[in-house]
Amino acid sequence: MLLQHFKDTPPYVWDSFFRHSVGFDRMFSHLERMRGVLPTYPPHDLLKTDTGYQIEMAIAGFSKDNLTIELKDDILAIKGELKNEDKHPEYLHKGIAERKFVKNFSLCEHADVSDITLRDGVLTIQIAINVPEKEKPKLLPIN
């Protein structure tokens, strides 16, 4: 099943990998199943910055009052739900998605959400990586 997604990869590459791997078939099956389960709405980008990472999420039609952002146990949960309003215009075409969503991101150790902005339908979350001085590598002098 895994090899179906790597049709351009020569088979000998995987033969070498599987020859030295024991018990990974369940992991690959699990990853393959998850590919179809993960929500794709709303679309998002992940960017690496000089100080950490940035998440950009396209959420046209949502305001900050429609969003909940929570960080618990290194899981950043972003939830959006539009309030049901009484006015229902008669759409000739409705192409802008306005459904509720939940997106979860696993954050690495030492990750801190440093800034959140919502501008022009794009939610931007800055994530800084702050490694304590005592955990940073030190160069040791040679005598």
In the numeric block, the tokens 């899981």 are attached to 75
Within 13 Å and on the Cβ side, how many CA atoms surround 26?
Answer: 2
pLDDT at 4: 45
SS3 state of residue 23: coil
pLDDT at 24: 63
pLDDT at 102: 92
Q: Which residues of the chain have pLDDT under 70?
A: 1-38, 84-88
pLDDT at 56: 97
Domains of the chain: 1-38 (no CATH), 43-143 (2.60.40.790)
Give the pTM.
0.66
pLDDT at 5: 47
What radius of gyration, in Å, describes the C-alpha atoms of the chain?
22
Listed in sequence order, the residues at least 6 apart from 98 whose beta carbon sits closer than 8 Å to its beta carbon are 61, 82
